Amino acid sequence: MAAKLIFIAAAALAVVPAATSVVWPGRNGEEVSRTVQLRGPFIEFEQTHERIHLRLAPASAAETGARERIVVRADGYEIAIPLKHGQTWASAELPASLADAAALEISLQP
The domain locations on the chain are 35-109
Q: Which residue has the higher pLDDT, 3 or 71?
A: 71
Say if CB 86 and CB 64 are below 8 A apart: yes
Three-class DSSP category at 13: helix
Mean pLDDT, to the nearest integer, of 6-21? 59
| Position 2 confidence tier, pLDDT thresholds 50, 70, 90 | confident
Q: Which residue has the higher pLDDT, 60 or 24?
A: 60
Q: Report pLDDT digits (tens) over 69-105.
A: 999 999 999 999 999 988 899 999 999 999 889 999 9
Q: Is the pLDDT of residue 48 over 80?
A: yes
Residue 64: its pLDDT value, please? 75
Residue 74: its pLDDT value, please? 94
Cα distances (angstroms) measured from residue 106 to each of 14, 23, 89, 91:
44, 37, 14, 13
Average pLDDT, the chain: 81
Which CATH number does 35-109 carry?
2.60.40
Q: What is the DSSP letter of 99?
A: H
What pTM, to 2 d.p., does this model score? 0.67
Residue 33: its pLDDT value, please? 74
